[in-house]
Structure 1
Amino acid sequence: NAMQSFTEKIVSMMKSENLYESQGGPIILSQ
């Protein structure tokens, strides 16, 4: 599933940048 792979890549990047928790990752991904 290309979309799942893309989403996981974005989440991984956010976590590595320490933005996932501080920015609210799921909110960004839903837009």
Structure 2
Amino acid sequence: MFFDWEQDNAEEFNAMHKIFNLSKALRIATEPQ
């Protein structure tokens, strides 16, 4: 899905990837054990 992005979009991709990882980590951390 993201693999067709051109190199010009690498910075935006990295930002989105960081946000995705943070949101995933937050969801895992807040799940009831």
Q: Please report the TM-score for the alignment, with normalisation by the length of structure 2.
A: 0.54
Q: Which runs of 5+ in 1 are unaligned?
A: 20-31
Which structure carries more helix by proportion? 1
**Residue in structure 2 matched with residue 10 of structure 1 by the alignment:** 19
> What is the CA-CA distance between 1:8 and the residue it aligns to?
0.2
Give the % identical residues. Answer: 16
Which runs of at least 4 in structure 1 moved beyond 6 Å after TM superposition?
none
